[in-house]
Amino acid sequence: MRITLQVWRQAGPDSTGGFKTYHLEELSEEMSFLEMLDVLNERLIATDEEPIVFDHDCREGICGSCGVMIDGRAHGPQLGTATCQVHMRSFEDGATITVEPWRAGGFPIIKDLSVDRSAFDRIIEAGGYITVDTGSAPDANLMPVAKSAADAAMDAAACIGCGACVAACPNGAAQLFTAAKIEHLNLLPQGQAERWDRTVSMVETMEEYFGSCTNHGECEVACPKSISIDFIALMNRDYVKAKYKQRRLVGQA
């Protein structure tokens, strides 16, 4: 298999970037997309050229480290699939493939295809956890949870924080990521004690870094875990309720 790659190269966050063309031959269709980039980097190193910088870790679609725009689509041509699980058989022999980093104000480029996603960390730090001391673990059947709530919480918890939702959104919004991280806690009994403070803190931290959601729905399509935009509606509902509760408390003080 042979392909032509047009890869975004940028020496650093303050440098001017641009596309560079590479030609690759004798590739296996069974290679993953990242294995193909490894092959290219080995050839670049062999000729004393700077290898292409890109993020990856597990290569099993669970860590959220990988993520690039492939032919203008976050993670590439396969729906519900992370970049590391895309294989070269998804492309035609002789194809020209354009590869570039996530494009969003909240994800500044570090180098080449690698971006700084630490804004997601700031959102989690604002409240994406449970701090209430509940003592030793109770028996599982002591706290009944409706199956619909448990299933929805698990669906939200599937978010791997890759940032594809932000990269795909025309507004560079992070509502799908934030909603998933809020609602997988808010839907369960263990998350109720900090539900309202968590929602306000995480939403308002998100707004410091990312754009506003205007319901394009591109985030759901790009998500490698196919997380529903229904969670954004749940987050918006919780945010309105939380702000109302805060105003009532202030008025009573």
Query: Average pLDDT, whole number, for the chain?
Result: 94
Split at pLDDT 50, 70, 90, the class of 249 is low
Backbone angles phi, psi at 181, to 5 degrees: -70, -25
Q: What is the DSSP string of 189-234?
A: GGGSTTHHHHHHHHHHHHHHHSB------HHHHH-TT---THHHHH
For the cut 90, the answer to whether the pLDDT of residue 138 exceeds it is no
Who's near 173: CB < 8 A, 6+ residues apart?
165, 166, 210, 211, 212, 213, 214, 219
Averaged pLDDT, 157-170: 97
Averaged pLDDT, 25-32: 96
Condensed to tens digits (0 to 9), the pLDDT of residues 169-185 reads 999 999 999 999 999 99
- Set out the domains of the chain in order of their start, with CATH numbers: 3-111 (3.10.20.30), 118-252 (1.10.1060.10)
Per-residue CA distances from 176 to 131, 228, 229 (Å): 23, 8, 6
Split at pLDDT 50, 70, 90, the class of 144 is confident
Averaged pLDDT, 114-119: 98
For the cut 80, the answer to whether the pLDDT of residue 8 exceeds it is yes
For the cut 90, the answer to whether the pLDDT of residue 212 exceeds it is yes
